[in-house]
Amino acid sequence: MRTTPIHQHTAAFAAYHLAIVDRIVKAAAPDSIFLLGLKIQQTKADSIFHSTLNSSAFIADVWLLVLLRNFDNKSRQEWQDKIEAHCNMLVPATTIVLQEAVFREEAENGNSFACTVLRSADRIYSVADIKYPEVVLSGPDTQETNSLLSAGISKAREFLAGAELYRLRKQYNLSAFMLHQSAEQSLLALLLVAMGFRANTHNVERLLRYGSFLSGALTEIFLSHREEDKKLIKLLQKAYIDTRYGKEYIIQYSDLVQLTEKVMRIADIAASTGKQILNTLTSTLQYEKQY
């Protein structure tokens, strides 16, 4: 297994490992659970009476891949929400839920997301009879992945241009819809090129949570402890459906301006992070092929 920075924080996760697994098993009876990522926050106490040299770390979010035998008439989103609700009573959690057979087939076909998980992620739970194929990561097609990133960011910026046009025409709801589409395209492109994962969702809040494990800067765009940011992400999330089919969606000009600035930042961060990850991945795989 290739050592990555996440493995430096497994001690912080160890305290929650068994309890998290127990909650997920009771909620969903999974075939396997993989640890994809951790968000670690540091706290340091300091005063005029005593200055501590060391800081303590705690888990702010845990990212898990949960593989289920079948979905039993529930959607992927419903399973993700259910599992996260059970985990959140213990520690904040973000999940990707897939059917085990689909994941296995993708791994056998060389899908980069599935292969990276099997090669690098800690499998923190698995039923006794589950075995996965040995996988080998191949280098990314640099031209193709860069094209995918460029195409996604280009779409995002075109939607931003549309949002500006609708704002100038005082069509604020349509402008908000365009902002949703821009954010979605930016984040989908980042996840695809960085992870090889196609996130089939229009849920921008969830896409941001996934993306925030790739770039800490995305975490800071909508801060969960700020009421203003909670209002803005809710407006952005609802814009996909309610601006077209709802009758009660209303967004103020000032909120639209703030959302525009945030969605522009999402596009910029996705573009720069995607390029950085691709460059790092290409260099790493080239190095590993030599040894």
Looking at residue 54, its pLDDT comes to 64
pTM, entire model? 0.89
User: Phi-psi bin for 276: left (phi > 0), alpha (psi -120 to 50), beta?
Assistant: alpha
Query: Residue 57 pairs with which residues in a beta bridge?
Result: 42
Which tens digit of pLDDT belongs to each residue from 211-257? 999 999 999 999 988 999 999 999 999 999 999 888 889 999 999 99
Asked if domains 11-126 and 142-288 share a fold, the reply is: no
Contact criterion met (CB below 8 Å) for 249 and 242: yes
Could you tell me the residue ranges of all domains in the chain? 11-126, 142-288
**Which of the listed CATH numbers 3.30.450.40, 1.10.3720.10, 1.20.120.330, 3.40.30.10 matches domain 142-288?**
1.20.120.330
Q: Please check whether residue 123 is in contact with residue 148, taking contact to mean a CB–CB distance below 8 angstroms.
A: no
Q: What pLDDT, in 10s, does the model give residues 80-95?
A: 999 999 999 999 999 9
Extract the residue ranges of the chain whose pLDDT is less than 50: 1-4
Q: What CA–CA distance (Å, rounded) separates 240 from 178?
A: 9
* pLDDT at residue 2 in the model: 38
Q: Which fold has domain 11-126?
A: Beta Polymerase; domain 2 (3.30.460)
pLDDT at residue 97, rounded to an integer: 98
